[in-house]
Amino acid sequence: MGKSFKARNGELEMKSLHYFTKILANCLLLISFACAAMPNIQNQSLTTSKGCLDKPELSLDSQNVKLVVLGEQMLTESGIVSQSKSIGYAFEAKANQKLTYKMDKNVCIWIFTPDNQLLNTGVLPTTGKYIIQVSAPQGSTTVDLSMGLDVAQTSPPSTPNSSAVTSAPSPENIPNSAPPANTTATRISRSNFPKASCGDPLPTNPNDYPVDFYPVYLPDSEANLQIAQRFCQDALSKRRKDSRTRAVQVAAFTSKQRAIEFRDFLNSETSGASIAPSTRIQNKP
């Protein structure tokens, strides 16, 4: 009797242990499947419709950050950006000032607050130094970025990763003539000169090539050369590639819009400034 009871009891214990082991294995399988199916949210970045990430993947090199002074007049800066290269603009601002910016192309923009947090509104929360980081969602491009603080406007300020549409005419439709009053010539101030060089430098990253440069010329004369060198010390007399005639090359820009603005500025100081067709540099020298 005792042996039969013990045998049955042992058999019952073995069945219970087998049943428990089976349940445990099924639970582990379900947990493993759930973990494999669930995305790693902490390491996943959301992508906007423009192909820009919520946070930049690239760290901004301090050598590619330019210090600018922003005010009520829009300041325009140009630079070359790509998927592998970002440029930045640092500026000082006070709490509750409103940041406005406009860009001419589909690029990615992130704005960092003084405490290194991403800004998602046009109103600046604290006093200190802010940094605007710009890159391209794909390829390489030259971008013109206009920025200002407390700019009087009727439209709402831009927010990160959104572009503002302006009514400015296309650069291709603007003739090589002196500008009427209140045009882009007002964007460049005489207080910014003289400069050792007024144009854009060659890109240092081989991936930014090919690149187009738009030369700005004055008619060739000793007087025009002296005027040009008062603003741009590296201005020189040379033979133009398009007409094979001599002229004073004052500067060359990777952005046609910047070349137009500089030409208009020169025409407000003298006359005859013009933009030559672009020259393409295929590879890094």
Residues of the chain with confidence (pLDDT) below 50: 5, 30-49, 154-159, 162-186
**Domain's final residue, options 137, 167, 197:** 167
Task: State residue 217's pLDDT score.
Answer: 95
Task: Give me the domain span that covers residue 78.
Answer: 62-167
Task: State residue 28's pLDDT score.
Answer: 54
Task: State residue 46's pLDDT score.
Answer: 33
Task: State residue 115's pLDDT score.
Answer: 92
**Domain's final residue, options 113, 134, 167:** 167
Task: State residue 111's pLDDT score.
Answer: 94
Which residues partner with 93 through β-bridges? Answer: 128
SS3 14: helix
Helix (H) / strand (E) containing 142: strand 140-149
Task: State residue 137's pLDDT score.
Answer: 85
118 and 207, same domain (yes or no): no
Burial category of 156 from C-beta neighbours within 10 Å (exposed 0-12, middle 13-18, buried 19 and up): exposed
Q: What is the CATH number of the domain that holds 209?
A: 3.30.70.1070
Q: Is 60 left (phi over 0), alpha (psi -120 to 50) or beta?
A: beta
Task: State residue 168's pLDDT score.
Answer: 33
Q: How many CB atoms lie within 10 A of CB 31?
A: 10
HSE on the CB side for 40, CA within 13 Å? 4
196 and 160, same domain (yes or no): no
Task: State residue 31's pLDDT score.
Answer: 47
Q: What is the CA radius of gyration of the chain?
A: 31
* Rounded distance between C-alpha atoms, residue 150 and residue 272, angstroms: 36
67 and 162, same domain (yes or no): yes
pLDDT tens-digit map of 119-149: 888 889 999 999 999 988 888 888 888 899 9
Listed residue (168, 206, 214) closest to 76, CA to CA: 168
Is 25 among the domain residues? no
Is 91 among the domain residues? yes
Task: State residue 284's pLDDT score.
Answer: 85
**Residue partners of 53: CB distance under 8 A and separation at least 6:** 45, 46, 47, 108
Task: State residue 23's pLDDT score.
Answer: 59
122 CA to centre of own chain: 17
Is 21 among the domain residues? no
Q: Token pair for residue 245? A: 């005639």
Task: State residue 242's pLDDT score.
Answer: 87
* Rounded distance between C-alpha atoms, residue 264 and residue 271, angstroms: 9
Q: What is the CATH number of the domain that holds 122?
A: 2.60.120.380
Structural domains in the chain (count): 2
Is 128 among the domain residues? yes
194 and 277, same domain (yes or no): yes
**Domain's final residue, options 140, 167, 194:** 167
Where would I find the H helices in the chain? 2-37, 222-231, 256-269
CB–CB of 139/82 below 8 Å?
yes
Task: State residue 154's pLDDT score.
Answer: 46
SS3 93: strand
Which DSSP string do the residues of 269-285 spell out, in sequence order? HSS--EEPPPEEE-S--
Is 20 among the domain residues? no
Which DSSP string do the residues of 17-43 spell out, in sequence order? HHHHHHHHHHHHHHHHHHHHHS--GGG
